[in-house]
Chain A
Amino acid sequence: MSKVNPTDRKYTREHEWVIDNGDGTVVIGITDHAQELLTDIVFVELPEIGKQVKPMEAVAVVESVKSVSDVYSPVTGEVIEANQKLEQNPELINQDPYGKGWIAKLKMKQPEELQALLDASGYEAFIAAEQH
């Protein structure tokens, strides 16, 4: 049922993923597990370029038919790009949460924050525990 969570990135307990580009920037999105829970994503509110964010602050909003959910920033930083394709095609998050469904690119201010996040197997263990 679930896709494999890629090992090239880190995960939050709020079901976001973050990929380190190695140049001080990261790309973020929501996990396959999160899109599955939301099911039909019909609207994405993207952040404005230049928006300053901190961990656990909403950086974007995704809406399904039934629900409204915040996407939290995994790190402290500044939004430098947002996936404009999601405005017309929010379903990209359902179809390809780890690829074409990326949400924003951030410039990190405190790269060490990445170390506190989960790796793929840690995230899977976390989901398994959450379901019990």
Chain B
Amino acid sequence: MSRRALVGGAAAAAGSLLFATLPEGAAGQGASTSPPAQTPSDIPVDPTKVLGAPTSSTSGRSPFVVTGRTPTGAVSGSSLTPLHQFTGNITPTDLQFERHHAGVPTIDPVKYQLLVHGLVEREMVFTLDDLMSLPSVTRLHFLECSGNGRAGYKGIKPDLSPQNIDGLLCNAEWTGVSLSTILAEVGVRAGAEWALAEGGDAALLSRSVPVSKLRDDAMLVYAQNGEPLRPPAGYPVRLFLPGWEGNTNVKWLRRLEFNREPNMSKDETSKYTDPLPGNKARMFSFELDAKSTITYPTFPNRLVRQGWVQLSGLAWSGRGRITAVDVSTDGGTSWTEAQLQGTPGVKAAIRFTHMWKWDGAPATLMSRAVDETGYVQPTFAAFREGRGPGTDYHYNHIRAWKVAADGVVTYGGEA
């Protein structure tokens, strides 16, 4: 019997579900998924005695697996990754979070053009074929909205799941052209310190990006997990800035303009700036500092028996590699180093696990990431002291999950 089958709550009550369904009672929840090809009632009593299904063009999910992003339906809003349903390092492409400002545009790849102009030797237009003919690079990186964690900081309540709190996160393999290659093609001129990146959506979303980042590790991405980008992720081409807040990774990229100064566009002034104590706000706060989040056990899970429980979660840093993840089961009084599942990549998320022997007493679970710069994920108290209760974006404090004596797990806020 799998460990998940020992987990109580709605999932186990329904019988044989491998993964928990979306939490009932979590505010505003409602998965939007295609109906499964089969319903559980079609499942034979003994699958070894009947012929199975034939080959097909694409694989659907098992009818027992119910999953989906939530909430859905907004053209200016987000849908969140069901982090609590995953166990590995890679986010399934079709469940990657969305954040749109004017919906998902439909762009014909044959008509697609990228205009590069401004302080360059050669103002140029690139087609998708042009970009795909240039040397490609393939790298594993996380992508996270800097608003991720807002509910867990400013909207604390017990029935928040990892999806609700940290679902504006994904980890994927990205393929595209190094921006440094494009810079050589156009010849950036002296004095060009910033580039305005503009999307081809109905918001013409724009962000100013330092040219130093474009020279460093930026990419023009056209594929994710081996296939063309999906439209919500920026098909056919997006800017990808490893480790930097999601909003700067401009989707449906149609223009790069090289300038002496940042443009002070809406999303780099009125949004995506971080109010600080002292009545100031930090701007161009691009990097996402080290962070981790437990994905199991969390709300809506319930531990139904004492004994060994595997804690599992993800850790990532926008400044390089994760070097360690510590876990605590006593609210941060003592810490133990967790196992990392694989070799941590640069600006990539890594799965951590830890076997914990639950004695049936109330417990508070936490995780704490450390990155190669020596940065240690801050406590909730340190974060609130440093940034203030009303700050916005970059919520990377330690998250706490409370396990009650009856095994019910809830979000603990600062715990």
A binds B: no
Mark A residues whose CB is within 8 Å of B. none
